Amino acid sequence: MWAKDALGAISDLLFLPVVVGLLGVVCWTVIALGLFARSFIGRWRSQRPARDRYRTAIDRALTGDPHEDELAIEEIVARAESDAARSLNAVRFAIRVGPSLGLMGTLIPMATALSGLARGDLQVLASNMVIAFSSTVVGLGVGVVAYLIAMVREGWARADLDAVRFHAERALRREEA
């Protein structure tokens, strides 16, 4: 009996942080969607600042010494790869955390709802079930939006990295010639 009470108390204590976390992830997703739309419009207008920044860095790194140039360009390409991976980490985090918080936000009030059902208190049952199902929908919505953003941004990152690598190779060949 004490284990059930302890787990129930822990579950009740987690409800508010779960709801706050879910609302925070929703706010982050709305901001990420706006930034994604801005990037989409920029790419549609052929603006690719990250790719252009690395191309410029490659051009500036050329000193005339083939060995030094190769090392400098390898470092720039590695930094481009690292930055691309890091830019996707937050989206990948939201893909996993949104649905997890939604599930937690579903299960925690469901215990109270079932308790209300057992007592015959339909008002408690109804209000807690609304919270439970709303949490599920919101959490899954966050996951879907974040997944779609990640899919498109990963494609952009691959294309940009390919362009940076190609530019690096071309710059090195020009230096050797």
At which residue do the structure tokens 């308790």 appear? Answer: 115
Q: What is the separation of C-alpha 136 from the centre of its chain, rounded to a whole number of angstroms?
A: 19
Q: What is the pLDDT of residues 31-86, one digit of tens each?
A: 999 999 999 998 888 888 888 888 888 888 887 777 788 888 899 999 999 999 99
Q: Are 44 and 123 in contact (CB under 8 A)?
A: no
Please state, as a whole number, how many other Cβ atoms lie within 10 Å of the Cβ of residue 98.
26
Burial degree of 29 (CB within 10 A; 0-12, 13-18, 19+): buried
3-state secondary structure at position 27: helix
In this prediction the pTM is: 0.84
Integer Cα distance of 30 and 68 in angstroms: 44
Q: Are 125 and 44 in contact (CB under 8 A)?
A: no
